[in-house]
Structure 1
Amino acid sequence: MTGLLTRLAKSLLLLEYIKGEKDDIAVDVFFLTIDGKSLRKRIEDIENIFNDLKNSPLLSQQCSSSSNSSSEIPAKGTSKKSSRQEQIADSHRKISHMVIGRDKECEDISRKLRKAPDAYGPSSNSSRPYSVIGIHGIAGSGKSTLAQYVCEYEKKAKDKHFDLIMFSHVSTTFRVDKIFRDILEQTTQVRPSDTERLQSIQKEVKDKLQGKRFLLVLDDLWVNNDKQMEQDILLDALDVGQSGSRILVTAQRQDAGAALGCAQKQIPIPDLEKKEYLKLFMHHAGSSNDAEYKRIGIKIANKLRRSPIAAVTVGKQLRRNRRIRFWEATANDVVLNETMGALWWSYQHLGADTRRCFAYCSTFPRGYKLTRDELVRIWIAQGFVNTNSNAIGELEDVGSHYFDELLTFSFFMQVQRKFSGTELFTTHDLLHELAERVAGSDFHRINLNGSPKDIPAGVRHVFIGTNNGAKVVVEKNLDFRNLRTLIIEERYTGTDRTTQPMDDLEEVFDWLFMRLKELRVLIVKLNHGPKVVSVPASIDHMKHLRYLGLRFPCVKLILPSTFSRLYHMQTIFVRRNSNYMRVSCPEDMANLIHLRHVTAWMPFPNVHRLTSLQTLTHFNVKEEQGYELKQLKHLNKLRGALTIWGLGIVGSKEEALEAQLACKQRLTKLVLRFRNDTCNPDVTAEVLEGLCPPKDLVELEIQLYKGSRYPSWMLSRQHPDAPKRLQKLLLMGCSRLASIPEDSELFTHLRELHIIKCDWDRLPENMEHLVSLQNLIIHGCDEMELLPTLPESLRMIQISSSDALSTTCKEEGHQNWQKIQHIPEKNIFLSS
């Protein structure tokens, strides 16, 4: 104990020295400029001392309980759910009040967007159907937020002025193919493959924009004279739009908008008025009528130089800590006088583990979009996620807590929700700069125009975003002995014709595997490559590998027998662009007992041994030992989505019950796929009866079910394990659904119903009882001719490849036409 106190005293002397010099802001900036590696080592030493002390039985319970680290996980018996709900509500408040004090700018932008096309004159020549409007201001002034608000306003406006509204984050690297893909993803809900040729996606963009009045936001545009050809390609594609279309540009400099032909006066984003800035700050700090809080809040707000991003990050930390002494100390902290200093102050008040996870984000380029699951799993692979005896849940729950903390305090921001429901997040440019500073020399990125020769020796985390990046690394014979992360992502611009398929990919991999013996995370995303890729046997040299992410255009990936020796492996993520590819893997994959996530189509036997498994995207039932449905019995940690194929060979209800699906309480989506053959309908019905999903399931898909009846868990309120909160139901190639029982809980909360390729002659007669249903999609139902009375709650109906129904729904006066008139959005398509 004496030794611990001695070490602590020495460390505190260093901190006291720093604190004593606090009147000089240069000392605070010291933390942002000092070599990150040495500073982090000292900080970790101090934290280790505190941890040792905290675990000492000589410390009183009161002392240990006084800690208020934001990274702590609720102890057993506490309500983690209520805490998470508070965080979600807080984040929602941030989104709902994004534009405090910007009413004048909002009105000015909206007026210019909707003004007649000739009011300001075309952007460059009179034949173009669009004009360019520019917003400019310093980093952190709220340009992107304002543009996003304008987009949301226009989408929700009752008078739809624009047919299409699209948003693309451009950043310092202008890539026309990336902008085209953003446009198509938002207009078709499907993102084109990265391997598609520029000419192909350019044509598709023109087809989608042809004759449409559109609003396109190009966010964070930078002047780049080297990209003039790509800018011309973009503007050429936009020429097909209808007169009155608009391009809204946000940039830090006026000349960025002018480069795209912005002829009219651009809209500056000035500092907020003092009163409005205080309102913004106090909103995030927690509005209070207490005069003392307001007095100190004014003092703090005055130090922040009217920076919106500083108001948000500092304010949210103050909302969490309502002690007057803490507010007073903050008001006297000179580091808040600069925007970067204010962000650093907020960063310092995150939990220690959360800070380390945030610093890791500097590995990725600015504007890079990440999903929560991907980032949390990478943090886990790096050993950044810690649990203790009082923690609830898995490592993923703890990592998600870190993520929520960063999201709550605006270190992350949600930038996109894909059609699939996946949310994408990124960091504000200034916060990314902060991450780079605190990360130090352990992290290095090579962007599109960079060179691997610039990688410093001893670096631990590397992102290579160049074409043929993997091959260049080999040719330069770089020293990667200490590397913990290697991410290679081809960032093909679409105009570079020099990029060729990497035919020697296996040789490149072999070189990397033989040298990356300390690697924890390997992610390789290629736009070009051979159709079949065989991973070299030398992969077993990477004994510490925990996360493997591969995205190739190949049809098949072959993993060697040595792959099953990677005993630390936690996550396998293999995709073929937007789809899963076939993966051939060793029969003894179940030896990898630490596997937590398998996001790939790679069937292997005896999966029941992987009791830590949480993600298993596909399970294929076969008439072979090791592939029985009962293999799922003890995998009760499964979460997210699970697809079960081959249910047609299951022979009884008892066999289906062995899977114990109802026990997998964290599954949110379940796909049950039978097979389109001559299975006995009565047996199939018994099998489905035994496949009762967990009660908290959100999405259910039943495919190719030809049973003679529907299961009791689908129809009866009395079933104890039946889904109680199902929101989406998809039936594909199934026998007709009987009338919906009015006492069924499964349908109470249903918001979306898909009927796909079913040979039904009609929908259930009592559809009006689906009082929560908002979306109804009917596709490929040629036998269906008449609609029943539809629920008043419907907001959208889509009918396609069902010509009899589509024709009558478009025929004014027909009873089908009359039954859909109350629905705001009607998408009725006839087969071409």
Structure 2
Amino acid sequence: MKPFSHGEYGSKIIVTTQSEKVASMVHDLPPYHLTTLSSDACWNLFKKVAFNNSNPIVPSELEEIGREIVEKCNGQPLAVKSLCSLLRHQSNSKDWESIRDSDIWELSQKNCNILHALWLSYQYLPSHLKQCFAYCSIFPKGFQFAKEDLIKLWMAEDLLHPQKSKRTEEVGEEFVHDLLSRSLFKKSIKLDKSVCLTMHDLVNDLATFIVGDLCLRSYCSSLNKASNNKIRYWSHLKGENDNCEKFEGLVEAKHLRTLLLTSTRHFTAKLELANLLPLLTCLRVLSLYNTSITELPDSIVDLKLLRYLNLSGTRIKKILNGVCTLYNLQTLLLRNCSELFLLPPETVNLTNLRHLDIECTSIKEMPKEMGTLKDLQTLSTFVLGKDNTVEELKNLQDLGGSLHILQLENVVKVEEVTAARLKDMKYLTELEFEWSLKSDGGSRNQNPQEVLAGLQPHTNIKVVKIKTWRGKKFPNWVGDHSFSGLEHIELLGCMNCDSLPPLGQLPFLKQLVICQFTEFLKIGDELYGGSAEDTPFRCLELLQISQMPKCKEWSLSGGDFKGSFPKLKELVLKASPDLTAELCLPKTMETIEISGCHKIDLNLSESNRYKSLTKLHGCISIKSIFLDGFTKLDELHLECKNLESLEQSCAQLSFLRCLKLTKCPNFKRFPQGGLSAPNLKEFHICSCKELSSLPLPLSLQTLFISECPKLESFSEERLPSNLKQLSICDCSKLFEYCRSLLLV
């Protein structure tokens, strides 16, 4: 229920369900039964999706057939969408007629609740897609899965086959795209804003019905002797209660090919796994993700057919040498195994390995001869030691995704770096270079400038992160306009750096983070690059500058911040006390966060109406702020020693939920007539020495006031009826006033 605590005053909760029983349990009003769509509405939806156009012109020979197909969907929007996705690329009337006249429409739904249209969508899938789709029955309803994870599972089950000009993973990408285009998958956004996939509940029902007894999900039922010999796929993915009875039949499921366990406590003892694994010799996929196991049993060597092993998030301390005899292994995932310090030298014997993820582990050094694993497609991390070299990467030219190279201070010769041929790795999208903090940031025998120059990536790269590098001037490739696909750059802890690269000339750079340049003195014109006529940072949306204690000057292109960053949405400035600049921000701003930057002059004049701004956290030098332009503001947190007032005329701050005024010693007044913020929930006032009266909106739920000695009353002479938390500290006059209100 926690998400509902942030609803606006007067908000309503709408519960949708397919169950009358659920509706009767939660309703406060009589339930509203959704009716099916009208024929015209169904036809409009059909033609927009089928012809990929908001106002399509439908050929006359197809319209009649299309309307007849729509009528068969009985007003079900999912049915309409799945069929028009099927017909999207079919312009032949015979193909449309075959859908209209299919015998599937005549099937009885007495024993099956699957929509006829979904059945048709499945029947018209190519055979290879039918298998891939059916495998997804292993996921519970509502489960969000990453595209990359699904492709690895398909690959382990031998559902993908490489083509002459395409890698296996690329074939999987096409399959995912095809299932998306047919509306059998849909995109979903996680809380961290990453994009993943999921299936509509009815589509999930279809996949489950197709596989029948071949798949079992533990939250639905338990294994039993009648069906355990048929089970091929078994999952326990949603953190359900670990009822031992659910797992008892596993010992009889001798043909099991996929076993997915997540966050379960049942298989915690080495002995249980030791007894179970020798019985599951057909396993291709084994996931113990986020379980509490600390070691694998020796019997892991019995899984000779295993292709996918996921131990991510476990407390595993050691990878047994026996794992390195699983020569069919394609995927080994060890992410967030924080107690894992070593990969066995025999890891290089896994010649079929394609994906190795050791990000966020404690591994100190890679095994020797990692370059012999020539089939590797993703390698999350490469840790340099004293006995291996970065040159081993030269044979891994098919690497894609992200690669984090650690302990670069162990580079001995620049020739090792150039021999790694990062410049030729065209599939990599993200590169992170990191030197250890305890080092001087350079190599054992070479200077840091030459090393970083030799690490130049392919121009296809999208993300570059450089951490704790100790060079003074960045090499020419950093900021070169040939890297036109670069979208994100982070420069962190470059303590000896005395100038910035010309990043402004990167045409599609969206995010820039510069942090911990402790010796840096000036943000100069060189940052913007190009000629004076060119617009720098044309696509930049996020700019973060923090922990620059000695930096004093900030030169702006043409002396204008708006001209230097014309499309900026988020600005974060922190812990740079001497950084001096006058900033007049573009109207595209959505988030402003400034703290520990006392010499930044932020121009928030009334003429600039920031209609997209949702968050303003500012330690700024300004006497008065006009709020009328901030119509979408959600959070306002000000720490301004010169601030005297907040002004507001007619515009209502309908979205404002949280207001904090901290260390504003000269602040005296709010807008005349009070702050017009009908949905304000939190109000924090601290160290406002001159404030004598405080307006309290009716919607207020939390009120914290401290160190306001002159504050003696509330404008409304009452406390809001919705107030749940009240804290008053070091406000003697107000404390007595509140006591009198509470006593009345």
TM-score scaled to structure 1, two decimals? 0.63
Note the 1:124-163 alignment, pairs <5 A. none
Q: Which residue of 2 aligns with 1:273?
A: 38
Between Structure 1 and Structure 2, whose CA radius of gyration is higher?
2
For residue 593 of structure 1, the aligned residue among 339, 346, 351 is 351
- Structure 2 gaps of 5+ residues are 529-534, 583-593, 620-638, 640-661, 663-744
Q: Flag the 1:792–1:629 CA change in 2: closer, same or farther, 3 A.
A: same
Q: Which residue of 2 aligns with 1:293?
A: 62
Q: Deviations over 1:544-584 (max 9, x none)?
A: 00000124452x431111111000000011233xx765253
Note the 1:457-496 alignment, pairs <5 A. 457-465=229-237, 469=242, 478-490=251-263
- Distance (whole Å) between structure 1 residues aligned to residue 540 and residue 191 of structure 2: 21
Match status 1:660 vs 2:427: no
Match status 1:691 vs 2:455: yes
Q: Flag the 1:807–1:686 CA change in 2: closer, same or farther, 3 A.
A: closer
- Distance (whole Å) between structure 2 residues aligned to residue 594 and residue 731 of structure 1: 36
- Distance (whole Å) between structure 2 residues aligned to residue 362 and residue 332 of structure 1: 29
Match status 1:678 vs 2:440: yes
Contact 1:444-1:455 within 8 A present in 2 as well: no
- Distance (whole Å) between structure 1 residues aligned to residue 179 and residue 498 of structure 2: 46
SS of 1:483's equivalent? coil
Deviation, 1:757, is 2.4
Paired residue type of 2:350: L
- Distance (whole Å) between structure 1 residues aligned to residue 551 and residue 12 of structure 2: 42
Contact 1:740-1:764 within 8 A present in 2 as well: no
Contact 1:737-1:764 within 8 A present in 2 as well: no
- Distance (whole Å) between structure 2 residues aligned to residue 646 and residue 548 of structure 1: 27
- Distance (whole Å) between structure 2 residues aligned to residue 468 and residue 317 of structure 1: 40
Contact 2:290-2:312 within 8 A present in 1 as well: yes
Contact 1:669-1:698 within 8 A present in 2 as well: yes
- Distance (whole Å) between structure 1 residues aligned to residue 65 and residue 308 of structure 2: 47
- Distance (whole Å) between structure 2 residues aligned to residue 671 and residue 505 of structure 1: 37
| Root mean square deviation, CA, Å | 3.2
Deviation, 1:469, is 4.8
Contact 1:470-1:488 within 8 A present in 2 as well: no
Q: Which residue of 1 aligns with 2:177?
A: 404
Q: Deviations over 1:474-514 (max 9, x none)?
A: 655631221111112246xxxxxxxxx66952112212221
Paired residue type of 2:47: M
Deviation, 1:605, is 2.2
Deviation, 1:688, is 0.5
Q: Which residue of 1 aligns with 2:155?
A: 380
Deviation, 1:663, is 0.9
Deviation, 1:289, is 3.4
Contact 2:223-2:248 within 8 A present in 1 as well: no
Structure of greater relative contact order (alpha carbons < 8 Å, 6+ residues apart): 1
Q: Flag the 1:242–1:807 CA change in 2: closer, same or farther, 3 A.
A: farther
- Distance (whole Å) between structure 1 residues aligned to residue 617 and residue 579 of structure 2: 9
Q: Which residue of 1 aligns with 2:206?
A: 434
Q: Deviations over 1:711-743 (max 9, x none)?
A: 1212444xxxx533100000100144635548x
Q: Which residue of 1 aligns with 2:492?
A: 732
SS of 1:655's equivalent? helix
Contact 2:574-2:596 within 8 A present in 1 as well: no
Q: Deviations over 1:23-73 (max 9, x none)?
A: xxxxxxxxxxxxxxxxxxxxxxxxxxxxxxxxxxxxxxxxxxxxxxxxxxx
Q: Which residue of 1 aligns with 2:601?
A: 816
SS of 1:637's equivalent? coil
Deviation, 1:297, is 1.0
For residue 141 of structure 2, the aligned residue among 360, 363, 366 is 366
SS of 2:461's equivalent? coil
- Distance (whole Å) between structure 1 residues aligned to residue 117 and residue 169 of structure 2: 30
How much identity, in percent, do the aligned residues show?
24
Deviation, 1:804, is 5.9
- Distance (whole Å) between structure 1 residues aligned to residue 254 and residue 478 of structure 2: 56
Q: Which residue of 2 aligns with 1:444?
A: 216
Q: Which residue of 1 aligns with 2:629?
A: none
Deviation, 1:608, is 0.3
Q: Flag the 1:658–1:246 CA change in 2: closer, same or farther, 3 A.
A: farther
- Distance (whole Å) between structure 2 residues aligned to residue 811 and residue 817 of structure 1: 14
Q: Which residue of 2 aligns with 1:136?
A: none
Paired residue type of 1:755: I
Q: Deviations over 1:678-699 (max 9, x none)?
A: 2459810010011001111000
Point out the structure with the larger helix share: 1
Q: Which residue of 2 aligns with 1:771?
A: 538
- Structure 1 gaps of 5+ residues are 1-175, 184-215, 217-237, 492-500
Q: Which residue of 2 aligns with 1:250?
A: 16
Paired residue type of 1:544: L
Paired residue type of 2:420: A
Deviation, 1:463, is 1.4
Contact 1:801-1:829 within 8 A present in 2 as well: no
Q: Deviations over 1:59-115 (max 9, x none)?
A: xxxxxxxxxxxxxxxxxxxxxxxxxxxxxxxxxxxxxxxxxxxxxxxxxxxxxxxxx
- Distance (whole Å) between structure 2 residues aligned to residue 706 and residue 341 of structure 1: 65
Q: Flag the 1:387–1:615 CA change in 2: closer, same or farther, 3 A.
A: closer
Q: Flag the 1:264–1:503 CA change in 2: closer, same or farther, 3 A.
A: closer
Aligned length, in residue pairs: 571
Q: Which residue of 2 aligns with 1:633?
A: 394
- Distance (whole Å) between structure 1 residues aligned to residue 24 and residue 31 of structure 2: 9
Q: Which residue of 2 aligns with 1:752?
A: 511
For residue 570 of structure 2, the aligned residue among 796, 801, 807 is 796
Deviation, 1:244, is 2.8
Paired residue type of 2:155: I
- Distance (whole Å) between structure 1 residues aligned to residue 321 and residue 458 of structure 2: 36
Q: Deviations over 1:651-703 (max 9, x none)?
A: 34322101110111010000001233324598100100110011110000000
Q: Which residue of 1 aligns with 2:305?
A: 544
- Distance (whole Å) between structure 1 residues aligned to residue 212 and residue 219 of structure 2: 18
Deviation, 1:797, is 0.9
- Distance (whole Å) between structure 2 residues aligned to residue 322 and residue 633 of structure 1: 48
Paired residue type of 2:473: R
Q: Which residue of 2 aligns with 1:342?
A: 117
Contact 1:799-1:806 within 8 A present in 2 as well: no
Contact 2:553-2:580 within 8 A present in 1 as well: no
TM-score scaled to structure 2, two decimals? 0.71
Paired residue type of 2:489: L
Q: Flag the 1:410–1:805 CA change in 2: closer, same or farther, 3 A.
A: farther
Match status 1:283 vs 2:48: yes
Q: Which residue of 2 aligns with 1:331?
A: 100
